[in-house]
Amino acid sequence: VQIYQELKSKQFSETFKKTITRRDGIRSFGGTSGVSSEGTQHSYSDEEKVAFVNWINKSLAKDPDCQHVLPINPDNESLFTSLRDGILLCKMINLSQPDTIDERVINTKKLTTFKMTENLVLALNSASAIGCTVVNIDAHDLMAGKPHLVLGLLWQIIKVGLFADIEISRNEGQCTQTHALFLGLNCLICLLIDGEELDHLMSLSPEELLLRWVNYHLRNAGTDTIRNFSEDIKDSRAYFYLLDQIASHEEPRLDCRQFVSPHDVTSGNSKLNLAFVANLFNMHAGLQKAQINGNDIDTAHIEGESREEKTFRNWINSLGVNPYVNHLYCDLCDGLVILQLYEKVNVPVNWKRVNNPPYPNLGANMKKLENCNYAVELGRDVAHFSLVGIGGENLNEGSPVHTLSLVWQLMRRYTVLVLSDLGDGEKVGDQIILNWVNTTLSQKRKDTQISSFKDKLISTSLPVIDLIDAIAPGTVKWDMVNRGDRGVLKDADKLDNAKYAVSLARKIGARVYALPDDLVEVKPKMVLTLFACLMGHGLKKVNR
């Protein structure tokens, strides 16, 4: 009897689990991570897998380098094996952020395990450079096709692309030109509500702007607004009125039926509904140029995100801070993200001194200011940063000059931290990095040498490419490198070399955040970080 009861209990348990999994579209599996404990359960959503597969199939259908794996079957586990050679991931990154990866660097033929690993390392380091968090993922996880890690990374990459144009300063330029994908002039500023300051609208996250956009059309349709992309979307009423407003007729004609199925809508899958709305916005925003009292709103003072700001923001997000940073200055004004960055560079934070949200209605800014004051105190007294003339109020007010100064010092400390660890704790300064670069180049009998991180020779990227070849012999395809006429390169050739150099650095394992333009323009700060990353990778190889 006891044996019978145990067998029936086990049978019921397994049947129940299958029923729950089937009903919710959730698949569970055990211990997928190399560092996870035995028996750890991970899960993933079938609906999300299907949505991502369909997006990949459509987006890369004509890419000649992907034909060996496309189309991916959405009804089985093909997605997880299709990504193991790294090519699809690299292509998806370039789809979301064009030119992130120089595709000359991607291994596409005679793919050995080593070459596939190189592609995956390139993809991970490039994903990090566009702001994806990859701290607990490595090439082996992706090659093994671990579902929760693969889907998590894919969602981050897809979201970066979907949200790329959902930002006021970037979007405003489209109001003055006709765009084939838009059913009208795409002007987010018309989403301003009565009495709202433009600065507040500009501080909203892409998710908040999308919600504002949907409600703008719902109000115009004379129907109720929504508060989220889950519960409030389940009855499809909002979609009916939204699509009617922007297209007049049925949704399939808009060529935007991506990410959601009827079940995803009725189940309130917020991630997929958000992706659907973002894609719909990008294709058919249906907005008109904003006016107040019949006059156009002056947008001349709206400035887009600079390259430096974007690099810093992507670096911050790649470290997995919470909340995600959409706008460098206003999202750092409560000090919380800065304090998290201190912990990333081994500066201890007393979290009992930190005020966390939700902040009180009265005195909210004072709580944020206290955090900023503490951040400056840590930088000055513990990290020993140069913060002359910088106070907590500067960070709290979102002062660009002061915020950039602190963030740069945090990024520099983060970059050289690995060098200190490899050098038995020795403090690593600029001169040590410079000496290592030149010594390594001369030991490998390279012709290039640099006098400083401002050396004009860096604009050719030849010292970087030579250094990569010195660290990882055989990596550089020299027929891809422009050497110019008597060492003189045209600007186009310099940029070509820079793109190649940055992607090569990421491919060999250096987590580089500098951009090709930083090399061409010889931006000393970013040049320093690139050489420091290469030095760190080179020293790791020596110490293995």
Local confidence band at 296 (pLDDT 50, 70, 90 cut-offs): low
| pLDDT tens sequence across 9-38 | 555 455 444 444 444 566 665 544 444 433
CB 290 within 8 A of CB 297: yes
pTM, 2 dp: 0.89
| pLDDT tens sequence across 178-205 | 333 333 334 688 888 888 888 888 899 9
- Token pair listed for 203: 């501080």
| pLDDT tens sequence across 55-102 | 999 999 999 999 999 999 999 999 999 999 999 999 999 999 999 999
Domains and CATH numbers, the chain: 21-163 (1.10.418.10), 168-296 (1.10.418.10), 307-422 (1.10.418.10), 430-543 (1.10.418.10)
CB 453 within 8 A of CB 479: no
CB 345 within 8 A of CB 410: yes
Q: Which runs of E-coded beta strand occur in 157-309?
A: 291-292, 295-296
Task: Give mean pLDDT, residues 1-11.
Answer: 50
- Looking at residue 35, its pLDDT comes to 40
| pLDDT tens sequence across 411-455 | 999 999 888 877 666 678 999 999 999 999 999 999 999 999 999
Confidence check: pLDDT of 291 > 50: yes
List beta partners, residue 27. Answer: 44
- Looking at residue 261, its pLDDT comes to 87
Q: If you average pLDDT over every residue of the chain, what do you get?
A: 87
Cα(531)–Cα(409) distance, rounded to whole angstroms?
A: 16
| pLDDT tens sequence across 226-271 | 999 999 999 999 999 999 888 754 444 666 778 888 888 888 899 9
In degrees rounded to 5, what are phi and psi of residue 486? 60, 40
| pLDDT tens sequence across 353-401 | 999 999 998 999 999 999 999 999 999 999 999 999 999 999 999 999 9
Q: What is the 3-state secondary structure (H, E, C) of 473-528?
A: CCCCCHHHCCCCECCECCHHHHHHHHHHHHHHHHHCCCCCCCCHHHHHCCCHHHHH
Confidence check: pLDDT of 4 > 50: no
